[in-house]
Chains A and B, each alone.
Chain A
Amino acid sequence: MTTFLDVANILLPLLYLGTAISYGFVFFASHPTANRTATPALRGSLLLHLAYLAALAIHHQQFPAATVSQALSIVAFAVAVVYAYVEWHGRERSTGFWMVALVFFFQLLSSLLTRPNPPDRAIFHDKFFAVHVSLALLGYAAFVLASAYGFLFLQLYRDLKGGRFSTFYGKLPPLEVLERMMIGALSVGFATLTGAVIVGAVWAQRLDQANWFRDPKILITLATWFLYALALTLRRLRHWKGRQTAIASLAGLCAILFSLMAVNFFFTDFHGFL
């Protein structure tokens, strides 16, 4: 089991890198071989990833989100699954390169940060923990997707506004579709992050932690939540158009990365009060 985990830990970023390169050839060159291989490569990588996460859970006898590395891997997996679904459902592969590149980035970070023996603490076996972390990671994955669509929206918007027609022009779904996907992903992310915050708050109360809201990670998460809430509200009130929402989704991604990485490195191991 350990050997499989070690091999998969090295293999996964490499596979996602290869898949991203294939999608890159699809996007930039419409290469016939890449057109045939990109989707099977993604599906193969996803299968290995699923096996890896399952093996992690079985090996450590806990939900595989006990460390930053495991959380990042789950985010990568969730983004890849959602993209694979979007591709299958919409027969639309033009965003594949950008999505799989993000998946590769998250999985690479995960593999680099892997620790041989993740901590085994009582909370990791708590049902609240599994629900709270699952919702938070699902939300993060949705926000990652929203930011990718936001990035592509901004590129196409710039091309269409300036009449420059760069590499992006003609290869992406229309602006309206990109905007709809971005808003959809933001809404799902916001709903699940809200769920994660509520479950977390109830859980903290149950654990009798009075100072839980002073935890830097929670503060950053709440700030991120407010940013998304503001973006979606302004959008709903029709003050913000696609461009502003796309910029907000990119800012949100930066906050998420900060929350996931920097706070974990510099402030706490998990939550400071636990």
Chain B
Amino acid sequence: MALPEMPEPSGRPRQEPSLLLIGTDFRCSPLELREKVAYGGHEGEDLLVHLLARPGIAEAFLLSTCNRTEIYVQPRDPGNDDEAYRAALELTFLRRVQEMEKPGRLYVKRNDEAARHLLGVASGLESMVLGEPEILGQIKQQSALAETVGASGPVIRRLLRSAGSAGARSRQETAISSGAVSLGYAIVELARNIFSGMENCRVLLIGAGEIARSVARPLVERGARELKVANRGAERARQFQEEIPQAQLLSFDARLAAVREAEVVVASTGAEEPVLTRKQLKEAMKARPTSPLLVVDLGVPRNVEPAAGKIENLFLHTIDSLEHLIQRNLKKRKEEVPRVQEIIEEELTQFRAWYRNLEAEPVVAQIQKQAERIRQQEVAAVLSRFPAETHGDLERLTRSLVRKILHHPSAHLRGQGGQSEGAARHDLSRLHLVRELFHLDEDREDKDES
């Protein structure tokens, strides 16, 4: 694996990864600004190529979604990221919108904070809707882009792996993404609590307006078996079908017959009078004696007579009860935040440990190189004294000896990064000790002189 250019140990342990993040999100910038600094596939590629052309930047990663644009860079000089900062700021944001310079529009995070932020984004903690799952896919997609362009090196690549792991673990080990937090998904959630699967659900929508469209998409997406739409106006119904081609259009009067066959009924008309009365629903329930029926009334004023809620096996929900469900789910997600933060810290600790190991890698490589040189010299000195047919054995024997002698010290040096942060300074002094013991610096100087 190619290692990034790192300075030789200078007495200061590299406890934190060298990273720089500049970004803006829905909290800092309105949509009008965010859309100006949003990057499509090719634009993102161009940006990364331009950034890498700057001498101060070793690696880069761009995350651009509808809610955020963030640029992560690994400065070539960990001690001085001024050049990387100026380049990332100018090329990513100011070149497009000068207004981004205003205070509060951008956030800048460095090193640990930058890494923690990306892990938080991947886990859904920074999302507009807490715990939303799409962001993890977006990060994966954009990391593939950075990989294609060659913008991600070992540090960014490892950071993205940690982010992916934090995101996946947060969703598997906590309830940060559980429960519906939108009207459409709340209806899906209710249906899933009643029926054995969405694929068994036939859905009837009464009304074809904006609300009907917004709830229809999740129902179709989650595999509803059938979607029928009964609307008074034919034009709006046709528009609905253009947007959601799976929908079958019905006349408004056919709604009562359709209720008998449906599992889920969603009413969202602007009618002043109920479009489904208790009597009509009671009749419909007689045609389906043991099958439950979920009726969701999203109309204001109400589209379904409230008394229908008393019918056995009929579950009537209104916009209020759905809102109550959404708030309950959001509250549950918020309760999961500390557990997600724990996961992020665990992943961050592993990332830091990996980063610190980079310090040991050159030392291990030097020891192995030096040992190999000595081996070759010694073998060459005595080789003529041995019969030619034993030369191969001699090579194998000496290589094996060197490998076995160096195995434990190498493994130990590589493994030291896994220790606690408090041990980092101690580790560094050990690295110096190892250099002295093996005469690594002298070895290099001798080589340089020669």
Mark A residues whose CB is within 8 Å of B.
Answer: 30, 32, 156, 160-161, 163, 165, 169-170, 172, 174-177, 180, 235, 238-239, 241-243
Task: Kindly state whether residue B328 has any CB partner on chain A within 8 Å.
Answer: yes
Among the 9-residue stretches B135-143, B308-316, B438-446, the one with 4 or more Cβ atoms under 8 Å from chain A is B308-316
Residues of chain B lying within 8 A (CB to CB) of residue A32: 173
Residue of A169, A172, A175, A239 near B292 (CB, 8 A) is: A175
Stretch at the interface among B160-168, B189-197, B348-356: B189-197
A174 touches B194 (CB 8 A): yes
Known: A176-B196, A242-B292. 16 other contacts (CB 8 A): A30-B175, A156-B193, A160-B315, A161-B309, A165-B324, A165-B328, A172-B193, A174-B193, A174-B194, A174-B196, A175-B194, A175-B292, A177-B196, A239-B289, A241-B313, A243-B312
Contact B289 A241 (CB under 8 A): yes
A32 to B174, CA, bound (A): 9
The CB with the most chain A CB atoms within 10 A, among B178, B193, B325, is that of B193
> Could you list 23 A-B pairs, sorted by A, with CB under 8 Å?
A32-B173, A156-B193, A160-B190, A160-B315, A163-B317, A163-B321, A163-B324, A163-B325, A170-B179, A170-B193, A174-B193, A174-B194, A174-B195, A174-B196, A175-B193, A175-B194, A175-B292, A176-B196, A235-B290, A238-B290, A241-B312, A242-B313, A243-B313
- Bound-state CA distance A30–B335 (Å) is 13
Contacts of A241 in B (CB 8 A): 289-290, 312-313
A86 to B289, CA, bound (A): 28
B193 lies within 8 A of A169 (CB): yes
Q: From B178, B194, B289, B320, give the contact of A176 (CB < 8 A).
A: B194
Nearest-Cβ distance from residue B289 to partner chain A, whole angstroms:
4
- Inter-chain contacts of B328 with A (CB < 8 A): 165
- Complex: how many Å from CA A175 to CA B312? 14
A157 to nearest B CB, angstroms?
A: 9
Q: Please give the distance in Å from A233's CB to the nearest CB on chain B.
A: 14
- Nearest A residue to B263 via CB reads A176
In the bound assembly, the distance between CA atoms of A235 and B313 in angstroms comes to: 14
Per the CB 8 Å criterion, the residue count for chain B at the interface is: 24
A165 touches B325 (CB 8 A): yes
- Report A-chain residues with C-beta under 8 Å of the C-beta of B189: 170
Q: Which residues of B contact A156 (CB under 8 A)?
A: 193
When the two chains form the complex, which single residue of A169, A172, A174, A242 contacts B290, counting CB atoms closer than 8 Å? A242
**Given the complex of chains A and B, what is the CA–CA distance between A175 and B292 in angstroms?**
9
Q: Output the nearest chain A residue to B193 by Cβ-Cβ distance.
A: A174
Q: CA of A32 to CA of B170 in the docked complex: distance in angstroms?
A: 12
- Report the separation of the CA atoms of residues A160 and B189 in the bound assembly, to the nearest whole angstrom: 11
Pick the contact of B315: A161, A170, A235, A239 (CB < 8 A): A161
Could you tell me the distance between the alpha carbons of A36 and B218 in the complex, rounded to whole angstroms?
A: 33
B177-189: CB near A (< 8 Å → 1, else 0) gives 0110000000001
Q: Once the chains are docked, how many angstroms separate the CA of A177 from the CA of B194?
A: 8
Q: Which residue of B lies closest to A160 (CB)?
A: B315
Residues in chain B near residue A161, CB distance under 8 A: 309, 315
Complex alpha-carbon distance, A32 and B194, angstroms: 27
Give the docked Cα–Cα distance between A163 and B175 (Å): 21
| A-B interface, 3 closest residue pairs, ranked by CB to CB distance from nearest | A163-B321, A238-B289, A176-B196
Q: Within 8 Å CB of B175, what residues of A?
A: 30
Q: How near does chain B come to A26, taking the closest CB pair, in angstroms? A: 13
The residue on A at minimum CB distance from B189 is: A170
CA distance A156 to B193 in the complex (A): 8
Is B315 within 8 A of A176, CB to CB? Answer: no
List, in ascending order, chain A residues with CB within 8 A of B173's CB.
32
Which residues of chain A have C-beta atoms less than 8 A from B324's C-beta? 163, 165
For residues 286 through 320 of chain B, which have their beta carbon under 8 Å from a beta carbon of chain A? 289-290, 292, 309, 312-313, 315, 317, 320
A169 to B192, CA, bound (A): 11
Q: Chain B residues near A160 (CB, 8 Å)? A: 190, 193-194, 315
Query: Are A176 and B312 CB-contacts (below 8 A) given A160-B190, A165-B325?
Result: no
Question: Closest Cβ of chain A: how far from B47's Cβ, in Å?
Answer: 41
- Residue among B189, B192, B290, B325 with the most chain A CB within 10 A? B290
The residue on B at minimum CB distance from A171 is: B193
A162 CB to nearest chain B CB (Å):
9
* CA of A180 to CA of B196, assembled, Å: 10
**What is the bound-complex CA distance between A241 and B289, given in angstroms?**
7
The residue in chain A whose Cβ has the minimal distance to the Cβ of B292 is A175
- List of A residues within 8 angstroms of B325 by Cβ: 163, 165
Q: What's the Cα separation between A176 and B313 when bound, in Å?
A: 11
Interface set, chain B 68-93, CB cutoff 8 A to A:
none
Q: Separation in Å of the B177 CB from the closest CB of chain A?
A: 13
Contact residues in A for B190 (Cβ distance below 8 Å): 160
Q: Chain B residues near A176: list those with CB within 8 A.
A: 194-196, 292
A165 to B315, CA, bound (A): 13
Report the Cα distance A175→B175, complex, angstroms: 22
Shortest C-beta distance, B192 to chain A (Å), equals: 6
Question: Measured between alpha carbons, how far is A243 from B189 in the docked complex, in Å?
Answer: 21
Q: Specify which chain B residues have a CB less than 8 angstroms from the CB of A30 in the assembled complex.
A: 175
Question: Which residues does chain B contribute within 8 Å of A180, judged by CB atoms?
Answer: 196
In the bound complex, CA of A165 to CA of B320 (Å) = 13
Query: Which chain B residue has the least Cβ–Cβ distance from A180?
Result: B196
B residues within 8 A CB of A242?
290, 292, 313
Q: How far is the CB of B163 from chain A (nearest CB, A)?
A: 21
In the bound complex, what is the Cα–Cα distance between A78 and B312 (angstroms)? 34
Cα A174 to Cα B199 in complex, Å, equals 14
Q: Which A residues touch B196, using CB under 8 A?
A: 174, 176-177, 180
With a cutoff of 8 Å between Cβ atoms, the chain A residues found around residue B193 in the complex are 156, 160, 169-170, 172, 174-175
User: Which partner residue on chain A sits nearest B294 by CB separation?
Assistant: A160
CA distance A163 to B321 in the complex (A): 6
What is the bound-complex CA distance between A161 and B315, given in angstroms?
5
Question: How far apart sit A238 and B194, CA to CA, in the bound complex (Å)?
Answer: 19
* Cβ distance B65 to chain A, nearest Cβ, rounded Å: 28
Give chain B residues whose Cβ lies under 8 Å from the Cβ of A170.
178-179, 189, 193
